[in-house]
Structures are given as C-alpha cells and as structure tokens.
Structure 1
C-alpha cells in the first residue's frame, strides 16, 4: 500500500465514504459486517486517488466527442480525421483540436490543406497546446483578416513573404476567428463534461483543478456546465478551479472575476483561485525570456502578457482578498515576474494564501530558491519533460545550451525546497497520471505514447532533473490537494480522509513498473466508479 509515501499498513476500512481505519487485517476485522465488501489487492499497489492539479476538462471532453486529432500524429492522419469529420457533420463550421506542430514542414500548418479538405465552410483547429489556431481561407475571410489587419495585443497573425495571412494564428490572434464560432449547445457541453469525467475515472483521477473557468480561444466558458452538473449531482468528481483573468486585462477586470468566484461558491463549487497567463509558449517564441531566443530573426525575447508593474497590482489585490493566484509562467522572465509579484504582495499584505506557477518550462537558477522562500508551488506538467522531436528540433535550439540545462527543472526545484504539484494540462497532453509519473521519474517518454515517435524520446533528457517515485506520486496526489486547500480530506491514505482510492493492476516499487500497470479500480467516497474489464 502507498500513502502517498510507501506504507507498512496492509488494510483499510471505509465507513460512510471516509477512511475509518488503517492497519492490518486483524486490526480491522471487528469493523467487518454483513454488508461489507472486501477487496483483496493481492499485493497490488493501492494509492490515494490521483489529483490533476492543472487540467481543462471541458476542452478534453469536447475533444473526445468532436473532431479530435490527438489520435493521429501525421499529415495523413490529420487529413483522414478532418475529411471524415467534415463529411459526416453538416454544421456551419468545422471545428476541432489536437494538432502537433512538428507534423508540418517548418513547424506550423497553413490554410492550403484545410482549404482542400473544407473548401466551402470555415474550419478552425486549435493546437494541442491551445496556443495556436489553424484556420482555412473562409474563416480568415469571415474574420476580415487580410494583409492590413494589425496583430492584436498578445497575439500574432503569421504571414507569408508577401504579407498575406497563412492561416496560423498565435495566442490572442486566434480569437479574431474563434469569437465568430456559433456557441455550443448546453446539451453538448454537458455530454462532453460527463464523458471527460468517465475517462478521468478510468485513469484513477478522482479530483482535479480546472485551470480556466472562463472563455478562451475555441473553448466555451465551462462555468455554466460545472454549475449544472454539480447542482444535479451528475458531476461526482471532487473539483476546484481558477477563474480566468482575461489575457492582458487590468484591474478593471477585478469586479467581474470576483463576481464569478461568488457565483461559483454560492452554487457549491469551491473556487478560491484566479488564473493569470503571463506569457505564451517557447515553441512559437511567445514565452517570455530574460534574454533573446537563440538564432531567431527578428530578435525577440517573447512577450509578457501583463506589464510587471500592473501584474504586481493585480496579484496584490487578489492576495488581499484571500484568493490564490494560479500563474501560467513558461519562460524564465515570466517565472521571475510572477515571483516578483508574489513577493510584492507579501510585502504589502503580509503572509497570505499560497500561490502557484504552472508549467515552468525554463527558470533562471537564481530564482529557484525563491519558490520556497515565498511559499510558491511549482505546478508541473511531467509528461512534457522528454526529448520529443518538436522539443529537440525546434524548442531547445531556440533556448540555447545554457537555458536548455534548466529545461523543466523538476529535481532542482525539489532540491531547493519547493512544494510540488502535478497536472496534465489535458487536452494538451494525455491526462494519464501513470504516464506522467513515469516521465517525471525517468525523463523519457512512456513506451505506449504515440506522440513520442523519435528514438531520442526514449533516452533521459537532463537526467539530473529526475524525481524519485515517492516524490512524483506525492505531487500527483497530496501535492495537488495541498495547493487546492483540500488536503484535510484528500491526498493520503489516513483515517478521516475521503475514501478516494486507486487500485493498480500490480505492485509498484520502481518507475520501471509503470508501463506494465493499469488502473484496475477507481473508488470515490468508497464507491467504485471505474473497474477495468481486465480486473
């Protein structure tokens, strides 16, 4: 049994949905009654339910129920999936998600392929990382995007040598098109949410933190769907979330954000966090770096979505109201700006609630001790920390050798005393915690991951940044519960905790065990919500 540290206990008892005893078979025998279900793990690992600390569940569900390109990783595969979907759906728009840039020559798609596949309707496909939107000519026309259209704040319209839009829209530029897409029907959103819940249960995830409660690119505002499914009891998982601070907005957004927090709380949705995006991603040079990208023309250091002085004002105001800030910080400059804002809030407000920075693709080593000093959690997406083709061919050369050493510095953060939590950022990458834990511990791709096709992904990337199995399991269970403020009820196998448990298909003693394991059973509040057909 694990607890999330290995435990010598071999048996637990559950009463009214909570763990009532932890010990051995003899010590809990008196609690067994005629209505008791006895589960014999037969030596298999029993873990606390996984807590995904950074996820976009409605987006993932819409992918499962819509045109999802995640099941392929090739131009031929994308072409087949898009053609099949367009031929079988007669809607006014063709909308999907899940493409990877390394599939396309030069790293970005253009409108020519979509024009051939969908010549008569607007077509819009969000990238797997949700930082780019691929559109066809008809969509550009409807949005009135031409050679004279200026780039919006915190966004870029990719153009060809003649100045014409290629069909690739980065960051907020995507909203020039996505704002025109007809809204999803509430029934479709409900189906997507519950489909996603079932999928996450099958992976042992019993609780999660939704990282965007609000509208973003092609993603609808998920708050109404959460309130509906929480209200009628169909959403059974334990959920917290972060209300979206509109990208680049100033303090004028505060009242609206506080209003959404109050609305959620009144409906029984325990929201106490606000999501702030401080930069983009390194792959398209919108991640904010302290020094310019290497070998990139024209020279750029990326973009800070919010000016640092304004970021400090916003964070100080949120901290003063007892709201946690869930930062998106990818580049080393963005990470520093987020830490600076927390430090300023601490000086102004004194010790307050805990904040977190998600992603942390690269950090300056001078900033690593500041996480522990300021009580800032590093919210890690472990499945990213391997040498995929796109990372090797595009990202690392632009970071340069010196910064590449601090690429996803998991081990260095832990050695600096940083509190760690883990999440998948699904649908950016797979939500499977077993895959994420494996990569965190080995810095290689899981053998079954079709998105890691190059042989280099099977070799450790910066092996000095590996985590131990115990640390990775803790970050994917108790660590997420702690930063969400629910560790008094979740994240451990202990008396008084919710009986949210994951039984694996075999023992777990080292990372190399993980590829052969699956989730045999997921238990939520003492009730089985998933059972493997092979168990």
Structure 2
C-alpha cells in the first residue's frame, strides 16, 4: 500500500491540519495525523488545494516553443533582424511570438532580407500562421511560395525528428501546480495522438490528460474530451456541413469544443450548434467576443465557455488599438457570463498564452493590460472565482473539485495560506505538486513568470 502524509497544511480554510493519502486517494484530514512519520511532507502552513487543471493548452507546441527563439520582447524591425542573425547556429531556426507590430507583415521575401542563408520559420503569437524564408521553403515545397502557411502545422512536421519529449513540459506545469491538462490542438493525426497518450501512460507526462483533437480510434477512450472544431472568420465553414459534423460527434457520444475568438466566429459557432442541436457539455473555446444576446441561449443549452483571462494582460494593448470598440466592451467576458449562469472554465492556451495559471488568475481579478489600462472592470472576478476556473472537473466544467476524503490525491501545495494567495495570485509559489499521491518533479522557476522561460534556441 502506497501512502503519503502532509503535515501542517491549510485545507478548506482550516489551518494546521494533516492529510493522509493511501493508494492515490485522500483518506483522512485532521490534526496530528503525521505523528513521527519521517517521510511526512511539511506544508509549513501553506494551503493544500486540488491540483490545477489547464482546460486549454497545446502540449507539443509548448514543448517545441521551449527550444525556440522567443521574439516577443523585440520592438522593431532592426532588433528582430539582429535576433535572427545572432541566434545560435544549427538547423532550421524556429521563432515564436511574432506580431506585425514588431517588423510589419512578414512573407518569404521579407525574411530573406533579414536572414537569407539559413532556413527560418516564424510563428505568429496567435499560433495559426507560420512564415518561412526561401531556404526553409526548399525543405517544404508544399508550402505556398510566398512562405505564408495558415493552419498547416502538419506540413512542417519532420517525421525523421519524431515528436518532442514532454518531460520538460511536465516539470514546467508541475512548478505551477498543474495536475491535469486538456490538449486543445485540433485535428491531431493518429501518430501525434498516440505520442501524447504514450507519454502519459509511461509517466513522461504524469498529469491527467484529455485530448480534444484526437479521433475516436486514435487513443484510449478515457483520454477523449469533446471533439475540437475550428472556425476561422476569414474562411467561414458551410453551416450545414458543420452542423452535420456536430451531429455525428453527438451520435458517437462526444461533445464538441468549437474554437471562436471573434464576434463573427462566435455567431457561426452558435448557429451551427443550434442547427445541429446543442448538447449539455458542448464548449466554446476562447469566447473572445460573446455578444450578450447569446447568454440566455448558452445557459439554456448548457454550453460552457473555456476562456483565457491572461490574454487581457498579455495582449490588452494590442486589443485596444485593433479591436472594434463595441467588441472591447465584451472582450473575454468572465463575471457577466458567471452571473448569467453560464459555466466558465479557464485555460492558458500555452504556448500562445502564458503557461502560468496563477498569472491568468491575477489577470482575471485585475483586467489590466501591460500598461496598466483596465479592460472591462465589470468583468473582474474575485480571487476565489478566478481560482475556480482552474479547479473544475475537466469533463464536467460546472463541477468544482475539493480536497476531501475519497477525492483523488491530485494536489497542489502552496507557499502561503489561501487568503494570501487569492489576494496576490501572481506572487504565489507552488511548494509541491502531486498526482495520485505521487510528487511530480518540478522545474525551478526564476523571477520571471512570463509566458515562457527566457530561452534562446540551443541553450
């Protein structure tokens, strides 16, 4: 029988208690359970919470981003070009986090002027667009000759290189108290789905795992979440065809999770769901702009919204200048959806958003941009409600998880009591993370709690 004891922790607001875990399940909570157990984990008064679940993340993209050049700190074309030229030498240079505000719109010719002699591909920070220079295009002749590839990640996969190792991702997530993830990568092919499933099964990725983009036959059934579908405003779907696809998923017993970030995409998603017959547990991913007139429909059909409050902090200044004024008023809604009785859960969208859910909680509370401007003060959540975005049951987003006897021992031990953590979630440090009572090794975090560690390719 495996067991774990945590000494001097705060559970559900009660300080100075011990927690006993046996065979992956919490069995007892009370004072002085640890006795003289030399292996007891000393919580030093920190809050013991249900482990966090990131309800929208992209695991393999995050793994690849950790070995890429991050260009988000660059502010002009000269700095960006210098970043490309001074990157450590090697194979194809992979750059992430680009935005047109850095050096204007990119294509192959623009990249050739900056770096003509080395294959380079640059990913926009939204994740949906890659740009390749001519040297990279010679390795990928199927990519359009202007070098601009939209939602075509599969075309860039180097089969000989295999899939990325997820061990570092697991350690990074553990450092933030994350014990479960819902991978939202769309249209995973069988090999990619099996790699994720195998990484989970062999312990490389010990966090609980759900896959939105996997086909029904590509991984064990217990790893399948709602089926991911993508709506792009620039290439709208045929509504009848999309409704038929939704209906087919429902007939097989799977809900759907529809990507929609803009007002138009949300309108199309709701129209397709309504035509197909929405089912309780269907989801809108992102919900960047959800018109208030849809609230009653979403509530009545029990359609959930999985949002990213961190985007207000990370991209708020861009939104101020690029988003229509009417849409700014309903941008990444949270409190008003909650008040309307709509189920809301949180994800980070890492690596396209920050990987730290505590920073996302802080953003949900403050709604402040990087320049201190408030976007949607009426959408601010309390600290407790912001935390609840990440402690829901991933398959029943309206149901919270708690630390209590009989609950799985997926646990997150903080460095401070809960009240202090909720006041300043951005300052929280996680002391230990456990899945089924087993401690997950965690990557040490530096002073920065930004979207990715400050890395350069090859280091």
TM-score, normalised relative to structure 1: 0.73
What secondary structure sits across from 2:213 in the alignment? strand
The whole-number CA distance in structure 2 between the counterparts of 1:144 and 1:521 is: 47
The whole-number CA distance in structure 1 between the counterparts of 2:186 and 2:172 is: 20
1:134 to 121, 131, 135: 131
2:266 to 335, 345, 362: 335
Task: Please say if residues 316 and 344 of structure 1, whose CA atoms lie closer than 8 Å, have aligned partners that are also in contact.
Answer: no
Structure 1 residues 7 and 336 mapped into 2: Cα distance closer, same or farther (>3 Å)?
Answer: farther
Deviations 1:56-106 (A, max 9, x none): 011101111x22315634346644543344x520x3x4333222333224x
What's the offset of the Cα at 1:390?
1.8
Q: Tell me whether 336-345 or 53-62 shows the greater mean CA deviation.
A: 336-345
Question: Which residues of structure 2 form unaligned runs of 5+?
Answer: 1-8, 446-459
What's the offset of the Cα at 1:339?
2.5
Task: Please say if residues 72 and 98 of structure 2, whose CA atoms lie closer than 8 Å, have aligned partners that are also in contact.
Answer: no
What's the offset of the Cα at 1:476?
0.8
Corresponding position: 1:403 with 2:348: no
CA RMSD of aligned residues (A): 3.2
What are the within-5 Å matches in structure 2 for residues 70-219 of structure 1?
72-75=73-76, 78-85=80-87, 87-89=88-90, 91=91, 93-105=92-104, 108-111=105-108, 114-139=111-136, 165=146, 167=147, 169=148, 171-172=150-151, 179=155, 182-183=158-159, 185-186=161-162, 189-191=163-165, 193-212=166-185, 214-215=187-188
Q: Which residue of 1 aligns with 2:411?
A: 501
Q: Which residue of 2 aligns with 1:248?
A: none
Task: Please say if residues 415 and 428 of structure 2, whose CA atoms lie closer than 8 Å, have aligned partners that are also in contact.
Answer: yes
What's the offset of the Cα at 1:493?
1.1
What secondary structure sits across from 1:315 in the alignment? helix
What's the offset of the Cα at 1:223?
1.4
Task: Please say if residues 70 and 128 of structure 1, whose CA atoms lie closer than 8 Å, have aligned partners that are also in contact.
Answer: no
The whole-number CA distance in structure 2 between the counterparts of 1:473 and 1:413 is: 16
Q: Which residue of 1 aligns with 2:362?
A: 438
Structure 1 residues 77 and 36 mapped into 2: Cα distance closer, same or farther (>3 Å)?
Answer: farther
Q: Which residue of 2 aligns with 1:385?
A: 312
Q: Which residue of 2 aligns with 1:235?
A: 205
Q: Which residue of 1 aligns with 2:402?
A: 492
Structure 1 residues 324 and 121 mapped into 2: Cα distance closer, same or farther (>3 Å)?
Answer: same
What's the offset of the Cα at 1:363?
1.5
Task: Please say if residues 47 and 417 of structure 2, whose CA atoms lie closer than 8 Å, have aligned partners that are also in contact.
Answer: yes
The whole-number CA distance in structure 1 between the counterparts of 2:439 and 2:28 is: 19
What secondary structure sits across from 1:223 in the alignment? helix
Structure 1 residues 112 and 2 mapped into 2: Cα distance closer, same or farther (>3 Å)?
Answer: farther
Structure that is richer in helix per residue: 1
Task: Please say if residues 208 and 239 of structure 1, whose CA atoms lie closer than 8 Å, have aligned partners that are also in contact.
Answer: yes
Q: Which residue of 1 aligns with 2:455?
A: none
The whole-number CA distance in structure 2 between the counterparts of 1:52 and 1:345 is: 28
What secondary structure sits across from 2:130 in the alignment? strand
Deviations 1:215-251 (A, max 9, x none): 59xxx9631321332343332111011126xxxxxxx
Task: Please say if residues 79 and 117 of structure 1, whose CA atoms lie closer than 8 Å, have aligned partners that are also in contact.
Answer: yes
Task: Please say if residues 55 and 211 of structure 1, whose CA atoms lie closer than 8 Å, have aligned partners that are also in contact.
Answer: yes
The whole-number CA distance in structure 2 between the counterparts of 1:464 and 1:358 is: 21
The whole-number CA distance in structure 2 between the counterparts of 1:373 and 1:319 is: 18
Q: Which residue of 1 aligns with 2:451?
A: none
Structure 1 residues 10 and 372 mapped into 2: Cα distance closer, same or farther (>3 Å)?
Answer: farther
What secondary structure sits across from 2:184 in the alignment? strand
TM-score, normalised relative to structure 2: 0.84
Question: Which residues of structure 1 form unaligned runs of 5+?
Answer: 150-156, 158-164, 245-259, 280-287, 289-301, 446-451
The whole-number CA distance in structure 2 between the counterparts of 1:354 and 1:109 is: 39
Q: Which residue of 2 aligns with 1:368?
A: 295
Task: Please say if residues 194 and 219 of structure 2, whose CA atoms lie closer than 8 Å, have aligned partners that are also in contact.
Answer: no
Structure 1 residues 79 and 47 mapped into 2: Cα distance closer, same or farther (>3 Å)?
Answer: farther
Structure 1 residues 72 and 404 mapped into 2: Cα distance closer, same or farther (>3 Å)?
Answer: closer
Structure 1 residues 121 and 478 mapped into 2: Cα distance closer, same or farther (>3 Å)?
Answer: same
The whole-number CA distance in structure 2 between the counterparts of 1:82 and 1:134 is: 14
The whole-number CA distance in structure 1 between the counterparts of 2:188 and 2:395 is: 25
What secondary structure sits across from 2:258 in the alignment? strand
Structure 1 residues 124 and 2 mapped into 2: Cα distance closer, same or farther (>3 Å)?
Answer: farther
Q: Which residue of 2 aligns with 1:473?
A: 387
What's the offset of the Cα at 1:462?
1.0
Deviations 1:124-180 (A, max 9, x none): 11112112212223445776799xx7xxxxxxx9xxxxxxx4x5x3634x56xx726
The whole-number CA distance in structure 2 between the counterparts of 1:271 and 1:136 is: 37
The whole-number CA distance in structure 2 between the counterparts of 1:334 and 1:425 is: 18
Q: Which residue of 1 aligns with 2:3?
A: none
Structure 1 residues 126 and 411 mapped into 2: Cα distance closer, same or farther (>3 Å)?
Answer: same
Task: Please say if residues 67 and 82 of structure 1, whose CA atoms lie closer than 8 Å, have aligned partners that are also in contact.
Answer: no
Structure 1 residues 138 and 234 mapped into 2: Cα distance closer, same or farther (>3 Å)?
Answer: closer
Q: Tell me whether 135-144 or 358-367 shows the greater mean CA deviation.
A: 135-144
Q: Which residue of 1 aligns with 2:285?
A: 358
Structure 1 residues 319 and 462 mapped into 2: Cα distance closer, same or farther (>3 Å)?
Answer: same
Task: Please say if residues 190 and 229 of structure 1, whose CA atoms lie closer than 8 Å, have aligned partners that are also in contact.
Answer: no
The whole-number CA distance in structure 2 between the counterparts of 1:2 and 1:342 is: 43
The whole-number CA distance in structure 1 between the counterparts of 2:16 and 2:186 is: 40
Task: Please say if residues 214 and 221 of structure 1, whose CA atoms lie closer than 8 Å, have aligned partners that are also in contact.
Answer: no
Q: Which residue of 1 aligns with 2:249?
A: 318
Structure 1 residues 381 and 241 mapped into 2: Cα distance closer, same or farther (>3 Å)?
Answer: same
Task: Please say if residues 343 and 374 of structure 1, whose CA atoms lie closer than 8 Å, have aligned partners that are also in contact.
Answer: no
Structure 1 residues 527 and 181 mapped into 2: Cα distance closer, same or farther (>3 Å)?
Answer: closer
What's the offset of the Cα at 1:2?
7.5
